[in-house]
Amino acid sequence: MALLSSILALRRDARILKLPPYLSALCILVGVVWLLVLPLNEYSRNTYVSENALLPGQVHTYFTGSEHNIFRAYRHEVAALVDKPVQERSQKLGDIFRSSSLKVATQIYEYHASGRNISNQNVYAILQGPRADATEAIVLIAAWTNMAGEINHSGVALVLTLARYFKRWSLWSKDIIFLISGDSTSGPQAWVDAYHDSHSPASIEPLSIKSGALQGAVAVDYPAGPWGHRYDKLHVVYDGVNGQLPNLDLFNTAVSIASGQMGIGCTLQRMWKHDDSYQERLQTMLRGMISQGLGHASGPHSSFIPYHIDAVTLQTVGDGWHDEMSLGRTVESLFRSLNNLLEHLHQSFFFYLLMQANRFVSIGTYLPSAMLIAVNFTITSIALWVQSGRSAPVPNPASISSKSPKPDMTVAKKDGAVTLVPTSSLTIIERRLFLPLAFVGGAHFIGLLPLYIFNNTRQTLLPTAFNSTAIFTILLPLLTAFALSLFHRPTPQETTLIQCLSLLLLGMFLSALATLNFSLSFLIGIFASPLSFIRPIHPPQPNTPSTLTTTNRKAMSAVVSVLLAALNPVVVIRAATFYWGEDIVDVLVQAAEGWHVWGLWTQVVVWLVWWPAWFAGSVVVTAGLFS
């Protein structure tokens, strides 16, 4: 009982409000350190194939010999089509499929984004498993152009050759669909949307022939020209749209077959050289996180993943001694493994961070990192809420000099005892919520504006739009604070509540997001973490001794405002593109394409979660300039 009452008494202790900033800082620190220790052997694991049915690399592959001649012939056929119009190209590719006695169909698609017109044609062929029941299918993709815009000569030729080769096997338990998509991102998206009847029929043609439920997809990206090119490694690309990932078993199977059975080294996240040191593991993991956080399509496979179809792209990189036939045999073995599947891949992880081709951490190990960072906002928010409901601190009577005004006192009587208590500690403080709620709601609504502008501006106007948004968003907190000081000067309590509600929303959004897209949540959490530690700098209460002069106060507000302006999402995006040497317009064009074609959600998170939180924090600090 005594313990309970002493704990309850602690609740009234003023010191308890001093604790949250340290707790928040500790959360952030632990969150970041947590991420940094993940690449160590103690916290990451070697990959393994969980699904018994896959049996990677347990079959002999026979894609050799005369198939090579056919491949070379097809590669010249493909090279001859490079400058031909789309219709003629599709016709010719269809004829090649038909000559292997496969059913062929085409699909025309057209998208509009950033004033651009993305239109092209997909060609696909279906190999019906001779003894299969046509309820399931797996997809082999070669985009006509790869992510870099190069013509995928050898990739397309390889798919044509493999189609002819697979047709002669009788052991397929699933149908195999060979897809030559018009490009690497929109084409597969149009095709997979239409396959599931979720396309917009106005601009995208429905599929005339279909097969069963798609169980997996493999894309080959091998842009070697008609005279071939021997490559060094396979770059396995696995990021899906919105940071969704394929089942780890598919990635492991691909790596296990390529490196174990075929002897081709595997690499990921553009880490061409990887000697398995801590630094390189960390770098790989961070690159993976940035790629996942951006949520963009990273290859023809990306569009399949939102439909819960596990998919990877095999990309040839470097100069080495592996030829097209070893890539073909890798695909053959991979398809034999996928053919063994009895049900959808489900045994292994869908949430993981890879730090090397055979080392990973799973969600249970890494999730606390992003969660701790999200929790830091919630802690601060709760502290601010408690603080907003407290009266101004009563000065310690012992330290009050005779000069300072006496605090108001009230006579309290209880159980026959009489005492004098400061009036302020007895009054009940009401929280005035209208302005804070209206402000935080309004801030989120303003976020819709850039979201709309960036997704619906023509490409030529995008630089102007970006620059004006940058200037506008930097100036907006200043203007808002000024306007507020003119029309309705917020009380210190209201300012505290604005920050409290804004951080509460941020904490909630980020912790929910951490379970969906860990990397995005983590990155935004890191960039927004200073928002936990800024405090409005109010003019001193009339009865408390001031430690700052008005000038100092305003100078401090100005400094913090400028520092915060550097964390403006627009500024961060600009700095990031500058750091990676990307053109901001390209990024914006891709983002707009993502919005209209792939169903990308990253912009929504940036403009409706991150930006409003930054805006509210900035206004709270900038208000100090006008108080």
Partner 1 sequence: MSLTFRLLIPLLLASFAWGEHTSNWAVLVSTSRFWFNYRHLANVLSLYRTVKRLGIPDSQIILMLPDDMACNPRNAFPGTVYNNADRALDLYGDNIEVDYRGYEVTVENFIRLMTDRVSEDMPRSKRLLTDDRSNILVYMTGHGGNEFLKFQDAEEISAFDLADAFEQMWEKKRYHEILFMIDTCQANTMYSKFYSPNILATGSSEIDQSSYSHHADNDVGVAVIDRYTYYNLDFLETQVREPTSKLTMGDLFDSYDEEKIHSHPGVRYDLFPGGEAVARSRLVMDFFGNVQNVEVEGGISRNETAWQEELAAIERMINEARRSHNESLTARPQPAAEEAKIGETKQAIRKEGAMRVDGESGWSKQLVGATALLGCVGIWAAGSWLEKL
Task: Enumerate binding residues for partner 1 (CB under 8 A).
Answer: 52-53, 55, 58-60, 129-132, 169-173, 336, 339-340, 342
Choice between 131 and 414, CB closer to partner 1: 131
**Closest residue by Cα to residue 235 from 133, 161, 122, 155:** 155
The whole-angstrom distance between residue 337's C-alpha and the CA centroid of its chain comes to 30
| Cβ contact 146:263 at 8 Å | no
**Coil/strand/helix, residue 289:** helix
> Residue 227 CB, nearest distance to partner 1 (Å)?
34
Choice between 52 and 551, CB closer to partner 1: 52
Choice between 56 and 490, CB closer to partner 1: 56
- At what angle are helices 611-622 and 492-516 packed, to 10 degrees? 160
Choice between 153 and 336, CB closer to partner 1: 336
- At what angle are helices 66-80 and 86-99 packed, to 10 degrees? 160
Q: How many other CB atoms sit within 10 Å of the CB of residue 465?
A: 17
Choice between 175 and 239, CB closer to partner 1: 175
> Residue 170 CB, nearest distance to partner 1 (Å)?
7
> Residue 15 CB, nearest distance to partner 1 (Å)?
56
Say how far apart CA 295 and CA 49 lie, in whole Å: 26
For residues 35, 293, 462 and 443, what is the CA-based torsion angle, rounded to 10 degrees? -80
Choice between 169 and 626, CB closer to partner 1: 169
| Cβ contact 589:462 at 8 Å | yes
| Cβ contact 186:108 at 8 Å | no
| Cβ contact 313:331 at 8 Å | no
> Residue 129 CB, nearest distance to partner 1 (Å)?
6
**Closest residue by Cα to residue 215 from 444, 421, 53, 21:** 53
> Residue 169 CB, nearest distance to partner 1 (Å)?
8
> Residue 52 CB, nearest distance to partner 1 (Å)?
5
> Residue 46 CB, nearest distance to partner 1 (Å)?
19
| Cβ contact 441:545 at 8 Å | no
Choice between 212 and 599, CB closer to partner 1: 212
Q: Which residues contact 10 (CB under 8 A, 6 or more apart)?
A: 16
> Residue 138 CB, nearest distance to partner 1 (Å)?
13
Choice between 133 and 408, CB closer to partner 1: 133
Choice between 63 and 172, CB closer to partner 1: 172
Q: How many other CB atoms sit within 10 Å of the CB of residue 65?
A: 9
Choice between 192 and 334, CB closer to partner 1: 334
Say how far apart CA 249 and CA 251 lie, in whole Å: 5
How buried is 415 (Cβ within 10 angstroms: 0-12 exposed, 13-18 middle, 19+ buried)?
Answer: exposed
Say how far apart CA 569 and CA 141 lie, in whole Å: 37
| Cβ contact 114:587 at 8 Å | no
> Residue 135 CB, nearest distance to partner 1 (Å)?
12
> Residue 212 CB, nearest distance to partner 1 (Å)?
13
Instruction: At 219, give phi and psi (nearest 5°).
Output: -110, 140
Host H or E run for residue 162: helix 153-166
> Residue 130 CB, nearest distance to partner 1 (Å)?
8
The whole-angstrom distance between residue 486's C-alpha and the CA centroid of its chain comes to 40
| Cβ contact 56:256 at 8 Å | yes
**Closest residue by Cα to residue 135 from 196, 219, 215:** 215
Choice between 129 and 594, CB closer to partner 1: 129
**Closest residue by Cα to residue 341 from 309, 363, 312, 315:** 309
Choice between 168 and 413, CB closer to partner 1: 168
**Coil/strand/helix, residue 390:** coil
Which structure tokens are listed for 213? Answer: 């439920």
Choice between 171 and 426, CB closer to partner 1: 171
Say how far apart CA 214 and CA 402 lie, in whole Å: 83
How buried is 113 (Cβ within 10 angstroms: 0-12 exposed, 13-18 middle, 19+ buried)?
Answer: buried
> Residue 172 CB, nearest distance to partner 1 (Å)?
7
Say how far apart CA 325 and CA 474 lie, in whole Å: 56
DSSP state of 505: H
> Residue 337 CB, nearest distance to partner 1 (Å)?
9
> Residue 55 CB, nearest distance to partner 1 (Å)?
6
Choice between 260 and 306, CB closer to partner 1: 260
